[in-house]
Chain A
Amino acid sequence: MSDRRIISVSINGESYEREVETRLTLADFIRHEVLLTGTHVGCEHGVCGACTILLNGRTARSCLMLAVQANGQEITTVEGIAPNDDELHPLQQAFQDNHGLQCGFCTPGMLTTLIEFLDDNPDPTEQEVREAISGNLCRCTGYQGIVAAALDAAKRLQGATGA
């Protein structure tokens, strides 16, 4: 009865093939089918930014996409950001060092959002960082630490590339 399709999605470099209902959101696919629960689901209507993932390197809200739309695409979730199991991504390290997370619910969305942002704008001002995360809600209101972490990460990433 229900409309179903077989899809194949690459997530953090691994390919996952599943048969899904076409109305399944990408966020629920990632969490419930692939069981990668690092991507958080807050508002389910595109406001809170917690479910932000990278789709072919560009941020997207995974609650505002259908899983079938990710067929054949490359997705990076928060689990795929760190270079290996022992090391954090410079942005993650900056979050830890600058008290950039409290309860951690918004963190996956903050990290994916800021990875793309720092790629687009490697040397941002504080105001630009605040605008960049204006689509991500932190209900702990811990923005100060997040902004500090983003600015710190920008410096670290520039140092890493010798820029």
Chain B
Amino acid sequence: MKPPPFTYHDPRSIEDAVGLLAEKDNAKLLAGGQSLMPMLNFRFVLPDDLIDLNLIDGLAGIREAGDALVFGGMTRQRDIEYSDLVAKRIPLMKEAILNVGHRQTRNRGTYGGSMSHLDPSAELPTVSMALDAIVTVQKKGGKRDIAMADFPMGYMMPSFELDEMVTDIRVPLWPEGHGYAFVEFARRHGDFAITSSAVLLDVDSGGKITRASVTVGGVGPSPLRVAAVETGLAGETGSVELFTKIAEKCREIDAMEDVYAPAWYRQHLAAVLTRRALAKAYSRAANGTEINLR
């Protein structure tokens, strides 16, 4: 239960960090360490070189950029939790972040680290998928943007190369007054969710849904958008009947099975949590109405 031997590097710039990544064959980047450190302690990971990103200036912070908020890769989860800008402009993320681990881990854990680790039930990748975030990755000699739809390649496997690192996450904003909800089921508060559902809705003055984003976490190998639910909502007026019927589509998702829950249970949770999230989001939309499921 002690980390294996490695050579430790603490670069002071992104250029130096990606230079080391290009040079070293078996290197790991250390961000907040809330997943990598346990994996080192368990010796699930045996890097020859550990590149600590914590002393790089300018890799953390939240800034407004037109119709988006841009998060530096090393932005701590706590800073997202306590950001007035996030609470006002991306209330979905604020609601989700309170489910990320515990205060002690949010103080250290980072947005970019969570995206790179890409646990299928992690909250930040799930809301990033719901919000169509764009991830900027950099390597020696260049950077590129990856749309969230193309970001997960498989279970805990982001699509960037081994010599690339996440520097920014750009999150496009939804209009003021949009409806949002993040709901999850975990065995204990702060545990990884068995299943979560993230919903965003635009509702017009007549109460009709003009745009919908529905994502489930913890069901597939990575967070999944549920197109069958999204298309079924377009142009409809929110109601208990609509949300109950349309959320049932989640039972058709190809779901994972593990020691915590069988596939059918994840499908069941996806349907129940999505129904609740739809009702909550529609009730919160400026042009929506209160939907009471009971």
The interface of chain A, by Cβ under 8 A from chain B, is 2-3, 5, 21-23, 25, 28, 44-46, 49, 52, 55, 58-61, 63-66, 68-69, 113, 116-117, 120, 130-132, 134-135
In the complex, the answer to whether A28 meets B107 with C-beta atoms within 8 Å is no
Closest to B109 in A: A64
Q: Report the Cα distance A69→B51, complex, angstroms.
A: 12
Q: Is the interface of B mostly helix, strand, loop or mixed?
A: loop
In the complex, the answer to whether B6 meets A3 with C-beta atoms within 8 Å is yes
In the complex, the answer to whether A45 meets B189 with C-beta atoms within 8 Å is no
Partner of A65, one of B4, B33, B101, B189: B33
Tell me if B13 counts as interface (CB < 8 A to partner A).
no
13 interchain pairs (CB within 8 A)? A5-B8, A22-B50, A44-B2, A45-B42, A46-B38, A58-B107, A61-B34, A63-B37, A64-B37, A64-B105, A65-B37, A131-B190, A135-B101
Partner of B38, one of A45, A69, A134: A45
Across the A-B interface, give the 5 residue pairs with the lowest CB-CB distance, nearest first.
A135-B102, A22-B8, A45-B38, A44-B1, A64-B37
Tell me if B5 counts as interface (CB < 8 A to partner A).
yes
Partner of B108, one of A5, A64, A116, A117: A64
Q: How far in angstroms is the closest Cβ of chain B from A70?
A: 11
The size bracket of the interface on B is 20 to 34
Q: Report the Cα distance A121→B104, complex, angstroms.
A: 15
Residues of B close to A134: CB separation below 8 A: 102, 188-190
Q: How far in angstroms is the closest Cβ of chain B from A81?
A: 16
Tell me if B103 counts as interface (CB < 8 A to partner A).
yes
In the complex, the answer to whether B37 meets A60 with C-beta atoms within 8 Å is no
In the complex, the answer to whether B104 meets A135 with C-beta atoms within 8 Å is yes
Closest to A55 in B: B107
Residues of A close to B34: CB separation below 8 A: 46, 61, 64
Q: How far in angstroms is the closest Cβ of chain A from B225?
A: 30
Residues of A close to B230: CB separation below 8 A: none
Q: Report the Cα distance A64→B188, complex, angstroms.
A: 21
Q: Report the Cα distance A59→B78, complex, angstroms.
A: 11
Residues of B close to A52: CB separation below 8 A: 104
Q: Report the Cα distance A125→B10, complex, angstroms.
A: 42
Residues of B close to A131: CB separation below 8 A: 189-190
Tell me if B292 counts as interface (CB < 8 A to partner A).
no
In the complex, the answer to whether A59 meets B103 with C-beta atoms within 8 Å is yes
Tell me if B54 counts as interface (CB < 8 A to partner A).
yes
In the complex, the answer to whether B7 meets A61 with C-beta atoms within 8 Å is no
Q: Report the Cα distance A63→B3, complex, angstroms.
A: 10
Tell me if B159 counts as interface (CB < 8 A to partner A).
no
Interface string of B42-74 (1 = CB under 8 A from A): 100000001010100000000000000000000
Tell me if B210 counts as interface (CB < 8 A to partner A).
no
In the complex, the answer to whether B103 meets A135 with C-beta atoms within 8 Å is yes
